[in-house]
Structure 1
Amino acid sequence: MKKWYAVIGDPIEHSLSPLMHNTWFETQKIDASYLPIHVKPQELEQAVASLKLLDAGGWNVTIPHKEKIIPLLDVLDDSARRMGAVNTVVRMADGRLKGYNTDGLGFVRSLEEQIGSEKRQLRVLIIGAGGAARGIAFALESTGYSAISICNRTVSKAETICCELSQNAQALSLDQASQELDDYDIIVQTTPAGLKNGSFELPFNCEKLKSTAIVADIVYNPLMTALLKEASKKGATVVTGIGMFIHQGALAYSYWTGNYPDIVAVKDKLLANLGGN
């Protein structure tokens, strides 16, 4: 029987996950397909039951379901348990559902693919305090980044993540982060701001952004978000979301199939689809 996989989220029409995974299936001659499924928050429990009933081999989880899906799963990988968020579900041989988080490691691989691994002593500011922010914060810390701050509109959410990190991380408001922006060397934007179907507003005032800063955005469609455009104008190094997208997807693909895919060829195909901008 042909295997099938999916990505669930709200919104979902912007996702290039089907193009990426179906390309990998075709390249590796695996008889499988990957589908986008629009799941509203109130439909999540029913959707998970349906995916299981219809024998999906696994699926990716995107905004806004990464945290709320946890009670609906049978087992959590250590990464997902520690981060409190799931972006990949694997249907195990016994039928149970196991949750993983590949966001964090995918981001770190993407970041260091561009800037190298010699900058782990730099000060990092993470914008947002959702599932992606949590995953990235833990992955950065476990990789050796030792000075992490998190800013969010609701500061208490940032404080929760900071308290769970093993180091003395700092929680900030968006206004405070804006005023202290020149204290940070690496800025990581993890909110949906900039999504093709979302808001294009900047998360905060970037007047104090340093020209030597490294600015990353996990949104990949559009490739150059409002924040990255502003950072580029100031001479900062920008890291688009396409690298994280590919690396987190490659990890998920390897959990489903046991094979690690070619990330170079698929990047060219995705960039062509995005128009290179």
Structure 2
Amino acid sequence: MKKIFAVFGDPIEHSLSPVMHNAAFKAKGMDCTYHAFRVSREKLKDAIKGAHAMGFGGLNLTVPLKEEALKIVEPDLLAAVMGAVNTVDLKDGIRGYNTDGIGAERALVDAGVKIEGAKVLIVGAGGAARGISFQLASDGADVTIANRTPERAMRLAEDVAVAGNVKGCGLEQLDDLIASADVLINCTTLGMHPQVETTIATAEQMHAGLVVFDIVYNPLKTKLLMEAEKAGSKTVSGVMMLVYQGAEAFRIWTGVEPPVEVMKEAVMGALRT
């Protein structure tokens, strides 16, 4: 009997997780299928319980469900400390994990970024920012979280400060924060399809020594990354974070080594069309 996997989110139309995971299942000869479902925060508990009852193999969670899921699943220690869940395994109960941090770390390392000692500015304070800030602080980065609502950024910084050096603030001093940063990471939905003309920063605010990482992957080259290129900054696409966090989820669900290159090619192919 075919095993079903899925991603829940709201909105969800932009997600390329089905393309990526279905390519991985096919490459491994596994009788599995992966779908996307629009699920609101209010309906998340019913949706997760329903997926478990129907025998789904596992789930991914995206905006705005990652923090809400913590109240529903049995999180592993890392997800509990991070305060967000993006992967749910349904083999034995309802277990939650967070693979966002490792996905972001591997994407940055692939791009030649030395994380230890780097001054990292994260814009946004949602579920993805939780996982990424925790991981990079654990790796020795000096992390600043800036958010439109300063109190939310400061609460997040307090939550993940156990991992390392993390502080939170508002966006009032964004120019100065970017000027002193080594790495700028967009953890908001600004620039995501269909609002492709929005960005957290412009070329005038960036500098040539900056690495700009946008976790938005659709479109492939976001407005932020185009502005970064104008400034001479190094750019890192969100595609590889998607691939690496998805690969780790695949490993959790199946116990099988994920076909990373197949997953990457599937996503890139979909973005080129």
* Cα deviation 1:199-242 (Å, max 9, x = unaligned): 63222455231111000000100011111110011110000000
State whether structure 2 residue 61 is matched by structure 1 residue 61: yes
Q: Which moved more, 1:179-188 or 1:38-47?
A: 38-47
Aligned counterpart, 1:267 = 264
Deviation at 1:172, TM superposition (A): 2.2
Tell me the number of residue pairs that the alignment of Structure 1 and Structure 2 aligns.
Answer: 271
Contact kept, 8 Å, 2:179 with 2:205, in 1: the verdict is yes
Contact kept, 8 Å, 2:199 with 2:224, in 1: the verdict is yes
Aligned counterpart, 1:92 = 91
Q: 2:153 aligns with which of 131, 153, 158?
A: 158
Aligned counterpart, 1:149 = 144
Distance verdict in 2 for CA 1:99–1:198, change over 3 Å? farther
Contact kept, 8 Å, 2:107 with 2:244, in 1: the verdict is yes
Contact kept, 8 Å, 2:61 with 2:87, in 1: the verdict is yes
Unaligned 5+ segments in structure 1 are none
State whether structure 2 residue 52 is matched by structure 1 residue 52: yes
Deviation at 1:144, TM superposition (A): 2.4
Deviation at 1:265, TM superposition (A): 2.8
Contact kept, 8 Å, 2:213 with 2:236, in 1: the verdict is yes
TM-score normalised by the chain length of structure 2: 0.94
Contact kept, 8 Å, 2:70 with 2:85, in 1: the verdict is yes
Aligned counterpart, 1:120 = 116
In 2: Cα distance, 1:7 partner to 1:15 partner: 8
1:59-208 matched pairs, under 5 angstroms: 59-73=59-73, 75-93=74-92, 96-116=93-113, 118-145=114-141, 147-164=142-159, 165-166=161-162, 167-198=164-195, 200-204=197-201, 206-208=203-205
**AA aligned opposite 1:69:** A
Distance verdict in 2 for CA 1:16–1:204, change over 3 Å? same
Contact kept, 8 Å, 1:215 with 1:228, in 2: the verdict is yes
Aligned counterpart, 2:19 = 19
In 2: Cα distance, 1:31 partner to 1:168 partner: 45
SS in 1 for 2:145: strand
In 1: Cα distance, 2:226 partner to 2:13 partner: 23
Contact kept, 8 Å, 1:66 with 1:86, in 2: the verdict is yes
Distance verdict in 2 for CA 1:264–1:195, change over 3 Å? same
Contact kept, 8 Å, 2:145 with 2:153, in 1: the verdict is yes
TM-score normalised by the chain length of structure 1: 0.93
Deviation at 1:120, TM superposition (A): 2.2
Aligned counterpart, 1:212 = 209
In 2: Cα distance, 1:180 partner to 1:138 partner: 19
**AA aligned opposite 2:75:** L
**AA aligned opposite 1:150:** I
Deviation at 1:121, TM superposition (A): 1.5
SS in 2 for 1:21: helix
Aligned counterpart, 1:233 = 230
In 1: Cα distance, 2:123 partner to 2:52 partner: 34
Distance verdict in 2 for CA 1:98–1:137, change over 3 Å? same
Distance verdict in 2 for CA 1:168–1:21, change over 3 Å? closer
Deviation at 1:2, TM superposition (A): 1.6
Contact kept, 8 Å, 2:21 with 2:263, in 1: the verdict is no
Unaligned 5+ segments in structure 2 are none
Deviation at 1:137, TM superposition (A): 0.5
